[in-house]
Chains A and B, each alone.
Chain A
Amino acid sequence: DIQLTQSPSFLSASVGDRVTITCRASQDSNSYFAWYQQKPGEAPKLLIYAASTLQSGVPSRFSGSGSGTEFTLTISSLQPEDFATYYCQQLNSYPLTFGGGTKVEIK
């Protein structure tokens, strides 16, 4: 199984901050990598797929990069509606796996 180590697990930031979340894979995931945002009581929402492609309707302040074993999600200027938990996922090989999550809270 490909293990995903997501860091940090918790992040405190202010509106307007630039935020970076990292996910390291235990094996090569090529670029079959996605990022999701989840707010309390809601289903996860797809933000980024293929490591760096923005899902339709997602604001351009979100971006993804990386390939192989290291991937990042960046929010260029944190907005109030961005406070949530973020998950990475590898879709290169079965079983599909997720990172442990990063909770972004208001500073």
Chain B
Amino acid sequence: QVQLEESGPGLVKPSGTLSLTCAVSGDSITNTYWWSWIRQPPGKGLEWIGEINHLGATISNPSLKGRVTISADKSKNQFSLNLTSVTAADTAVYHCVRKKMGDGRSADFWGQGTLVTVSS
């Protein structure tokens, strides 16, 4: 069974950098998937942040104005999110997700999520 688990600080100061890691078990991040980050502000809907594929190609949401970096560590079978210059609007539950490619593309496995609060 594929499992994803997010880890990182639960509190980040305004203007700082949010850094999260997703540990993957039951699958290899070198397999043919996209490995994604999706967030959900408290009481609100879902927002796609960005993703990295098995070849290391990345793409992110233009709405986040270049603040996103996604990277992968194959030796540890994990991938990471860095979000710079955070504000209170970045407070959310952050989920890491496995996304299938091709005709059946969809987010089939999700981490439980980790709440990150931006506050001084």
Interface residues of A (CB under 8 A from B): 31-32, 34, 36, 42-46, 49-50, 53, 55, 87, 89, 91, 94-101
Interface size on B, residues (CB 8 A): 21
B61 touching A95 by the CB < 8 A rule?
A: yes
Residues on A with C-beta less than 8 A from B62 are 95
New contact pairs (16) apart from A32-B103, A44-B107, A91-B106, CB-CB < 8 Å:
A31-B103, A43-B111, A43-B113, A44-B95, A46-B107, A49-B100, A49-B108, A50-B104, A55-B106, A55-B108, A95-B48, A95-B61, A96-B48, A97-B48, A98-B45, A98-B46
Complex CA–CA separation, A87 to B63 (angstroms): 20
A44 proximity list for chain B (CB < 8 A):
46, 95, 107, 110
Taking the complex as formed, is B65 at the interface, i.e. its CB lies under 8 A from any CB of chain A?
no
Determine the residue in chain A with the shortest Cβ distance to B48: A96
User: How many A-B residue contacts, CB cutoff 8 Å?
Assistant: 56
B85 at the A interface (CB under 8 A):
no
Complex Cα–Cα for A46 and B59 (A): 22
B83-112 CB contacts (< 8 Å) to partner A: 95, 99-100, 103-108, 110-112
Assembled-state Cα–Cα distance A32/B59 (Å): 18
Ranked nearest first, the 7 interchain pairs of A and B with the lowest CB-CB distance are A49-B106, A43-B110, A96-B48, A34-B106, A98-B46, A95-B61, A91-B105
With a cutoff of 8 Å between Cβ atoms, the chain B residues found around residue A87 in the complex are: 45-46
Taking CB atoms, residues of chain B closer than 8 Å to A32 are 103, 105
Asked if B47 lies at the interface with its beta carbon under 8 angstroms from chain A, I say yes
Chain B hits for A98, CB < 8 A: 45-48
Residue of A36, A42, A94 with most chain B CB atoms under a 10 A cut-off: A94
Measured CA separation A101–B40 after assembly (Å): 12
User: What are 8 sample pairs from A and B whose C-beta atoms fall under 8 A apart?
Assistant: A42-B112, A44-B110, A46-B107, A49-B100, A50-B104, A50-B106, A98-B48, A101-B46
